[in-house]
Structure 1
Amino acid sequence: MNNTTNKHLRILREPLKSQDIAVPLKSLGRHIAKCLRKRQSVRVPAMRASELGQVLRTLELKRAYA
Protein backbone atom coordinates (compact mmCIF):
# COMPACT_ATOMS: atom_id res chain seq x y z
CA MET A 1 0.00 0.00 0.00
CA ASN A 2 1.22 3.51 -0.81
CA ASN A 3 1.98 6.05 1.87
CA THR A 4 0.73 8.89 -0.28
CA THR A 5 -2.18 10.84 1.09
CA ASN A 6 -4.84 12.40 -1.07
CA LYS A 7 -5.94 15.80 0.10
CA HIS A 8 -9.65 16.58 -0.01
CA LEU A 9 -10.60 19.53 -2.13
CA ARG A 10 -12.31 22.19 -0.03
CA ILE A 11 -15.00 24.11 -1.84
CA LEU A 12 -14.93 27.74 -0.82
CA ARG A 13 -18.34 29.36 -0.71
CA GLU A 14 -19.57 32.80 0.14
CA PRO A 15 -20.79 33.12 3.74
CA LEU A 16 -24.55 33.17 4.24
CA LYS A 17 -26.19 36.49 4.94
CA SER A 18 -28.34 36.61 8.05
CA GLN A 19 -31.48 37.37 6.05
CA ASP A 20 -30.93 34.22 3.93
CA ILE A 21 -31.18 31.89 6.95
CA ALA A 22 -34.56 30.24 7.51
CA VAL A 23 -36.44 31.44 10.60
CA PRO A 24 -36.80 28.00 12.30
CA LEU A 25 -33.09 27.34 11.88
CA LYS A 26 -32.26 30.78 13.28
CA SER A 27 -34.34 30.06 16.36
CA LEU A 28 -32.65 26.67 16.78
CA GLY A 29 -29.26 28.40 16.68
CA ARG A 30 -30.37 30.89 19.32
CA HIS A 31 -31.70 28.04 21.46
CA ILE A 32 -28.38 26.18 21.20
CA ALA A 33 -26.45 29.33 22.15
CA LYS A 34 -28.72 29.94 25.16
CA CYS A 35 -28.35 26.35 26.39
CA LEU A 36 -24.59 26.59 25.89
CA ARG A 37 -24.43 29.65 28.15
CA LYS A 38 -26.49 27.82 30.79
CA ARG A 39 -24.31 24.69 30.37
CA GLN A 40 -27.33 22.57 29.51
CA SER A 41 -27.36 19.72 27.05
CA VAL A 42 -29.06 20.28 23.72
CA ARG A 43 -30.73 17.76 21.44
CA VAL A 44 -29.94 18.65 17.86
CA PRO A 45 -32.30 16.93 15.42
CA ALA A 46 -31.16 15.23 12.23
CA MET A 47 -30.97 17.65 9.33
CA ARG A 48 -29.58 18.08 5.86
CA ALA A 49 -26.15 19.59 5.30
CA SER A 50 -27.60 22.86 4.04
CA GLU A 51 -29.73 23.20 7.17
CA LEU A 52 -26.78 22.39 9.41
CA GLY A 53 -24.76 25.07 7.63
CA GLN A 54 -27.47 27.61 8.36
CA VAL A 55 -27.56 26.67 12.06
CA LEU A 56 -23.77 26.92 12.28
CA ARG A 57 -23.84 30.31 10.55
CA THR A 58 -26.44 31.49 13.09
CA LEU A 59 -24.13 30.39 15.90
CA GLU A 60 -21.25 32.30 14.28
CA LEU A 61 -23.37 35.43 14.02
CA LYS A 62 -24.59 35.02 17.60
CA ARG A 63 -21.01 34.72 18.82
CA ALA A 64 -19.89 37.75 16.83
CA TYR A 65 -22.57 39.94 18.40
CA ALA A 66 -22.16 38.56 21.94
Structure 2
Amino acid sequence: MKSIEASIMTVTEAYVKQLTEEAEGVKRQQRIARGCIAAGDVDRNLRALGRHIAGCARKGKSVHVPAMCVSEWGHVLRALELTRAMA
Protein backbone atom coordinates (compact mmCIF):
# COMPACT_ATOMS: atom_id res chain seq x y z
CA MET A 1 0.00 0.00 0.00
CA LYS A 2 1.11 3.49 -0.76
CA SER A 3 0.88 6.05 1.95
CA ILE A 4 -0.61 9.35 0.90
CA GLU A 5 0.43 12.39 2.81
CA ALA A 6 -2.37 14.88 3.35
CA SER A 7 -1.51 18.51 2.89
CA ILE A 8 -3.46 21.73 2.83
CA MET A 9 -3.01 23.78 -0.30
CA THR A 10 -3.09 27.53 0.13
CA VAL A 11 -3.20 30.38 -2.33
CA THR A 12 -0.05 32.40 -2.70
CA GLU A 13 -0.05 36.06 -1.75
CA ALA A 14 0.98 37.14 -5.24
CA TYR A 15 -1.99 35.31 -6.80
CA VAL A 16 -4.45 36.98 -4.42
CA LYS A 17 -2.94 40.39 -5.21
CA GLN A 18 -3.27 39.69 -8.94
CA LEU A 19 -6.94 38.76 -8.57
CA THR A 20 -7.76 41.93 -6.63
CA GLU A 21 -6.02 44.10 -9.23
CA GLU A 22 -8.02 42.44 -12.01
CA ALA A 23 -11.28 42.89 -10.09
CA GLU A 24 -10.61 46.62 -9.64
CA GLY A 25 -10.23 47.04 -13.40
CA VAL A 26 -13.63 45.49 -14.14
CA LYS A 27 -16.18 48.10 -15.13
CA ARG A 28 -19.64 47.38 -13.73
CA GLN A 29 -22.72 48.22 -15.75
CA GLN A 30 -24.96 50.80 -14.10
CA ARG A 31 -28.71 50.25 -14.03
CA ILE A 32 -30.74 53.20 -15.25
CA ALA A 33 -33.78 53.79 -13.07
CA ARG A 34 -36.69 54.89 -15.20
CA GLY A 35 -40.06 56.20 -14.11
CA CYS A 36 -43.35 54.36 -14.43
CA ILE A 37 -45.24 54.44 -17.70
CA ALA A 38 -48.60 56.15 -17.25
CA ALA A 39 -51.66 54.00 -17.98
CA GLY A 40 -52.72 56.27 -20.83
CA ASP A 41 -49.28 56.20 -22.48
CA VAL A 42 -49.23 52.42 -23.06
CA ASP A 43 -49.50 51.57 -26.76
CA ARG A 44 -52.91 50.09 -27.68
CA ASN A 45 -51.47 47.09 -29.54
CA LEU A 46 -49.09 46.24 -26.72
CA ARG A 47 -51.86 46.68 -24.16
CA ALA A 48 -53.93 44.16 -26.12
CA LEU A 49 -50.98 41.76 -26.11
CA GLY A 50 -50.71 42.18 -22.34
CA ARG A 51 -54.41 41.37 -21.92
CA HIS A 52 -53.97 38.32 -24.16
CA ILE A 53 -51.01 37.08 -22.11
CA ALA A 54 -52.92 37.60 -18.86
CA GLY A 55 -55.96 35.74 -20.23
CA CYS A 56 -53.87 32.80 -21.37
CA ALA A 57 -52.07 32.69 -18.02
CA ARG A 58 -55.42 32.61 -16.23
CA LYS A 59 -56.52 29.66 -18.40
CA GLY A 60 -53.16 27.90 -18.03
CA LYS A 61 -52.37 28.06 -21.75
CA SER A 62 -48.99 28.76 -23.26
CA VAL A 63 -48.39 32.01 -25.09
CA HIS A 64 -45.99 32.95 -27.87
CA VAL A 65 -44.43 36.33 -27.14
CA PRO A 66 -42.82 37.85 -30.23
CA ALA A 67 -39.39 39.44 -30.22
CA MET A 68 -39.55 43.12 -29.32
CA CYS A 69 -37.28 45.95 -28.25
CA VAL A 70 -36.90 46.99 -24.63
CA SER A 71 -39.32 49.92 -24.77
CA GLU A 72 -42.05 47.71 -26.23
CA TRP A 73 -41.36 45.07 -23.57
CA GLY A 74 -41.78 47.75 -20.91
CA HIS A 75 -45.19 48.64 -22.35
CA VAL A 76 -46.27 44.98 -22.31
CA LEU A 77 -45.13 44.57 -18.69
CA ARG A 78 -46.96 47.75 -17.68
CA ALA A 79 -50.10 46.47 -19.44
CA LEU A 80 -49.79 43.21 -17.49
CA GLU A 81 -49.53 45.19 -14.24
CA LEU A 82 -52.61 47.19 -15.13
CA THR A 83 -54.55 44.08 -16.14
CA ARG A 84 -53.76 42.32 -12.88
CA ALA A 85 -54.60 45.41 -10.87
CA MET A 86 -58.04 45.55 -12.52
CA ALA A 87 -58.79 41.85 -11.91
Give the TM-score of the pair, scaled to structure 2.
Answer: 0.67
CA distance in 2, matches of 1:43, 1:50: 18
- Which residue is 2:19 aligned to? 2
Aligned runs of 1:1-20 on 2, under 5 Å? 2=19, 4=23, 7-20=28-41
Higher relative contact order (CA 8 A, sep 6+): 1
Structure 2 residue 54 is the aligned partner of structure 1 residue 33 = yes
User: CA deviation digits over 1:4-57, x for unaligned, max 9?
Assistant: 476532211110011111100000000000000000000001111110110011
CA distance in 1, matches of 2:69, 2:34: 17
- Which residue is 1:48 aligned to? 69
**Quick one: percent identity of the two aligned structures?**
48
Structure 1 stretches of at least 4 aligned residues deviating more than 4 Å after TM superposition: none
Gaps of at least 5 residues in structure 1 are none
Deviation at 1:64, TM superposition (A): 1.8
Question: Which amino acid counterpart does residue 53 of structure 2 have in structure 1?
Answer: I
Give the TM-score of the pair, scaled to structure 1.
Answer: 0.85
CA distance in 1, matches of 2:48, 2:30: 32
